[in-house]
Structure 1
Amino acid sequence: MTAIADHDAYIAAAAEPFRPSLTHLRTLLRAALPEAEEVVAYDMPGFRIDGTIVAGYAAFTRQCGLYLLPGAISQHSVEIAAAGFKATKTGITFTPRSRIPDELVQQLARASRDDARA
């Protein structure tokens, strides 16, 4: 397996149905985290601030995932559930048909950034 060099390469290598969702998620995360550096870590695209990956995303066989620091997930657990999603300690999975609402993605990203700085 070839290592993924950057976000563009990761999205291009994803299954076609997931590419628009991944591109949209990347755009939202970039807007919420303008000071973050785009990196690839653990074979996933992520956003790093002061050495900490504060947000990342991935595509799998049947779904995509958004990954954040645990404090962001716990802080917004009510909003995540209200939007109809289930979360693990550090992630939320979704399909191209049921994307995480834009505002929630941005709130989660900012909360993850703030959690890293705390």
Structure 2
Amino acid sequence: MGPKAENIAEYFSWFSPEIQNQLGQIRKAIKEVLPEATEVISYHMPAFKTTEVLVYYAAMKNHIGFYPTNSAVSEFKEALKPFKTSKGAIQIPYNEKLPLKLIQDMAIFRKEEAKARAEQKLKIKQKLG
């Protein structure tokens, strides 16, 4: 992997204004539905985190990569048919319109999934403690 950005602004600065605009649209869309999430750099990519990292996004050579984990890719497989996907990843070509509503829906799905996981861990801890 290449250099690691110290923050989101530095990461964005590495790219052309057009790509910065697309990254900014994704960032804004996710912030709208995850206002409580913290923005971090994780695995050299911008990410949103609550009790765990929920989603990552990144600029690649020919596409925006959106990484909502395998569970979200599975859950939204029908809606993702127009895109190239792999386990936990979605490729959105630069020349295509960003599916911002779908990105928001996946971010919300991941938030709920993480919340349920955190609640389950708490129940186990309380049971053991």
Distance 1:43 1:94 in 2: 19
Please say if residues 48 and 55 of structure 1, whose CA atoms lie closer than 8 Å, have aligned partners that are also in contact.
yes
- Structure number with greater CO (CA < 8 Å, separation at least 6) is 1
- Establish whether residue 34 from structure 1 lines up as the match of residue 35 from structure 2: yes
Deviations 1:89-118 (CA, angstroms, capped at 9, x unpaired): 211111222133221111011011112223
Offset from partner CA, 1:49-90 (integer Å, 9 cap, x none): 11x110111111111101112221111111111xx1122121
Where does residue 46 of structure 1 map in the other structure?
A: 47
The residue aligned with 2:121 is none
Q: Could you list the per-position Cα deviations for residues 16-41 of structure 1 after superposition, in whole angstroms to 9, with x for gaps in the alignment?
A: 43111111011111112111000001
Which ranges of structure 2 fall in alignment gaps of 5 or more residues? Answer: 117-129
CA shift for structure 1 position 2:
4.2
In the other structure, the counterpart of 1:62 is: 62
Q: TM-score, normalised by structure 2?
A: 0.81
- The answer to which of 98-107 and 22-31 deviates more is 98-107
Number of matched pairs: 115
Q: 1: distance between equivalents of 2:113 and 2:37?
A: 14
SS of 1:26's partner is: helix
Q: Larger Rg: 1 or 2?
A: 2
- Percent identity at matched positions? 26
State TM-score, norm by structure 1. 0.88
SS at match of 1:77: coil
